[in-house]
Amino acid sequence: MPLETVFAGIKLRNPTVLASGILGTNAEILIRTAKEGGAGAVTMKSIGPCEKDGYANPTILEWEHGLINAVGLPSPGYKNTEEELKQLEKSGIPLIASVYAHSIEEYAEIAGFAEKFKPAMIELNMSCPHSKGEGMPFGLDEETAGQVVKAVKKVSGKTPVMPKLTPQALNIASIASACERAGADAICAINTLGPGMLINPEVRKPVLANKFGGISGPAIKPVALRCVYQIYEAVKLPILGMGGISNGRDAIEFIQAGATTVGVGSAVYYRGIGVFKEVCDEMVQWMKKNNAKSLEEIRGVAHGH
Amino acid sequence: MTETPETATIKKISQETPSIRSFRLDFPMQAKPGQFAMLWLPGIDEKPFTLTAEGKECAVTVQEKGKFTKALFKLKEGDKIGIRGPYGNGFSTSRVKKACIVAGGCGAAPILLLAEELQKQGIKTAIINGARTEKECLFAERLRKTTHDLYITTDDGSLEEQGFVTAPLQRLLEKEKFDCVFGCGPEAMLKKVFELCEKYKVPCQLNLERYMRCATGICGSCVLGKWLVCKDGPVFNSKQLRETEEFGSKALLKCGKDVPIKEFAEWRQQ
Ligand SMILES: Cc1cc2nc3c(=O)[nH]c(=O)nc-3n(C[C@H](O)[C@H](O)[C@H](O)COP(=O)(O)O)c2cc1C
């Protein structure tokens, strides 16, 4: 199969990955996204330290060129995710457990808990742009990002650790390098761009209850591609690239920028849960038409002269 | 089409029962029975409501209970409100020649458009409408206009038969053959309706509820097992319900915690 991919040592039947915060609220829908939807791996909604409701609605809206969301990292609290994690472990589906926290110690505490259920990987969300004091502050600074990775690596055993970076960082490549030095096994980029906002002119008010939210979907694809491109030049680690991937051709662009796997989030809105299978079919078609025998052959080819 | 709310003017407010009002909006929406819209009150919240009228204008029917509905009840005719939709799959009436509808409490809301649609298609329909008391019985008169076969139950016996909707349903299933039983109401009631339908081997379509955010099938807040209530539902058929352990037993709170359906129902009352 031309799409089989090894990512940080994990064998995947294809490189498409369900992005965190999309669908991933329970084990059943994650299993469905893999089995019926065709995703090579799935990421659960980021889990946090305690029970938290997130913001009032509207939290997620579609506008002309993408989505904007300020869900506010709702979480049942990591201890309440045990049943789901167990069920996913039993299913054998490659699961990326996503974690957010308020402190370096908390990242380690939650990652240590998740590790017990042998997920394929642990993702560290240090990049949520709309939640106060969680996520993004850790991804803006090389030293802090490195400390989070180091603390998590101490408790993560054999499970690969993948920080998820924000395009807000002044130099995303140097954050990635700091994570690599701290022992990260892969890099995920990018989280939503922003924050941005929508105003309803008739109501004369912002539409999101939180006013500001992260932007995703087609609008952010050029930024995401640039980030993946720069990270690829800075580190040797494999990259999970995402941000505005809606079809197979988009996915190929990310591979050419240097990604090993490709995340799909907002496109679930545009094309439904079957989007992963469709993106894979389109990738294979593109490869046939353009005489690419494997993804390996085209990975990073956009670099150099 | 973008999925951001547009503004609509409230044209008419009707008091349906002491705690339930209908709001007619000058906003066109072509919808199937069982589909819903998201209503937005800036600065307060956005919530899903089933449509009780569709076409050139639409309407929703709302029971006053939490913060959002209390704020909605303060609005007057002529006031504006945000709206987006319609969403969800709605009831399917294809291949149905003889139907039974079961509604409990506010569950009569999505049932109204369905009953009118079945009548328009000339489909013979029996309707069972349950309420706590006579005063809280929703849409009894409008439902009566759609069928000769209306059964009303009240918990306290203040109107027609005392007891739950399941008693007349069992009597009907015993003597008649329906192509489909349609239902909406509290999930504990719907679970019993489902079990009766399974026993009598009659397919059913039930309208369910979960806490919702995006309404467009991406955030996963409203999961029912592997289904998304906003997109795969809110109407589910017997086959889907058979595969879904969570039906009648568990639901996610706003934070995403999985709790027994009773705890969820109590939280929803706030
Ligand atoms: C509704 C929504 C919720 C999200 N929640 C999370 C989250 O909990 N954790 C996280 O790391 N990223 C979250 N994201 C970001 C996505 O995982 C992804 O990085 C981003 O949307 C870019 O990819 P896309 O353009 O394919 O959507 C969320 C995105 C959306 C649209």
Q: Where are the domains of chain B?
A: 6-87, 98-265
Of B14, B27, B2, B17, residue with least CA distance to B81: B27
Chain B nearest C-alpha distance from A3 (Å): 25
CB pairs below 8 Å between A and B: how many?
A: 126
Kindly tell me the sign of the dihedral angle through the C-alpha atoms of A199, A203, A205, A210. Answer: negative
Radius of gyration of chain A (CA): 18
A128 catalytic, yes or no?
A: yes
User: Which residues in chain A touch residue B213, judged by CB atoms under 8 angstroms apart?
Assistant: 57, 59-60, 71
Is B257's CB within 8 Å of A77's CB? yes
**The residue count for chain B:** 270
Specify the pTM: 0.95
| CA distances for A121 relative to A41, A160, A165, angstroms | 10, 5, 16
Residue B135 pLDDT = 87
The tokens describing B80, both together, are 């504006």
Average pLDDT, chain A: 94
- A61 in B contact zone (CB under 8 Å): yes
**Banded pLDDT at A35 (limits 50, 70, 90):** very high
Q: pLDDT tens digit string along A170-204?
A: 899 999 999 999 999 999 999 999 899 999 999 99
Which amino acid, residue A66?
G
Residue whose pair of structure tokens reads 């006013």 in the numeric block? A211
Let me know if residue A64 belongs to a domain.
no
pLDDT above 90: residue A118: yes
User: Which residues in chain A touch residue B217, judged by CB atoms under 8 angstroms apart?
Assistant: 268-269, 272-273
Is A28's CB within 8 Å of B252's CB? no
Let me know if residue A83 belongs to a domain.
yes
Structural domain tally of chain A?
Answer: 1
**Banded pLDDT at A133 (limits 50, 70, 90):** low
Let me know if residue A34 belongs to a domain.
yes
Asked whether the beta carbons of A242 and A190 are under 8 A apart, the reply is yes
Q: SS3 sequence, chain B?
A: CCCCCEEEEEEEEEEEECCEEEEEECCCECCCCCCEEEEEECCCEEEEEEEEECECCEEEEEECCCHHHHHHHCCCCCCEEEEEEEECCCCCCCCCCEEEEEEEHHHHHHHHHHHHHHHHCCCEEEEEEEECCHHHCCCHHHHHCCCCEEEEEECCCCCCEECCCHHHHHHHHHHCCCCEEEEECCHHHHHHHHHHHHHCCCCEEEECCCCCCCCCCCCCCCEECCEECCCCCCEEEHHHHHCCCCCCCEEECCCCCEEEHHHHHHHHCC
**Banded pLDDT at B224 (limits 50, 70, 90):** very high
Residue A136 pLDDT = 62
pLDDT above 90: residue A39: yes
Asked whether the beta carbons of B238 and B34 are under 8 A apart, the reply is no
Q: pLDDT tens digit string along A231-267?
A: 999 999 999 999 999 999 999 999 999 999 999 999 9
Distance (Å, rounded) from C-alpha A62 to C-alpha B181?
Answer: 36
Residue B162 pLDDT = 84
Let me know if residue A193 belongs to a domain.
yes
What CATH number does the domain containing A163 carry? Answer: 3.20.20.70
| Centroid of ligand 1 to alpha carbon of A216 (angstroms) | 7
Asked whether the beta carbons of B155 and B105 are under 8 A apart, the reply is no
Kindly tell me the sign of the dihedral angle through the C-alpha atoms of B99, B104, B108, B111. Answer: negative
What number does CATH give the domain B6-87?
2.40.30.10
pLDDT above 80: residue B257: yes
**Nearest atom, ligand 1, residue A221 CA:** 25
Of A164, A184, A136, A175, residue with least CA distance to A43: A164
Let me know if residue A259 belongs to a domain.
yes
- B259 in A contact zone (CB under 8 Å): no
Is A200's CB within 8 Å of B42's CB? yes
For residue B6, list its beta bridge partners.
B83
The tokens describing A116, both together, are 């017990």
Residue whose pair of structure tokens reads 């064998």 in the numeric block? A11
Catalytic residue, chosen from A128, A179, A227, A280, is A128
- Left if phi > 0, otherwise alpha if psi is -120 to 50, otherwise beta: which for B95? left
Of A6, A9, A3, A5, residue with least CA distance to A161: A9
Residue A1 pLDDT = 66
Let me know if residue A255 belongs to a domain.
yes
Q: pLDDT tens digit string along B6-65?
A: 999 999 999 999 999 999 999 999 999 999 999 999 999 999 999 999 999 999 999 998
Does the C-beta of A256 come closer than 6 Å to ligand 1? no
The domain in which residue A162 lies consists of 5-58+73-197+214-303
Distance (Å, rounded) from C-alpha B97 to C-alpha B21?
Answer: 32
Over residues B137-153, the mean pLDDT reads 89
Does the C-beta of A59 come closer than 6 Å to ligand 1? no
pLDDT above 90: residue B108: no
Kindly tell me the sign of the dihedral angle through the C-alpha atoms of A226, A228, A231, A233. Answer: negative
| CA distances for B206 relative to A220, A302, B124, B182, B203, angstroms | 40, 53, 19, 6, 10
By C-alpha distance, the chain A residue nearest B67 is A56
Residue whose pair of structure tokens reads 């919808």 in the numeric block? B31
Distance (Å, rounded) from C-alpha A58 to C-alpha A17?
Answer: 26
What number does CATH give the domain B98-265?
3.40.50.80
Reported ipTM: 0.93
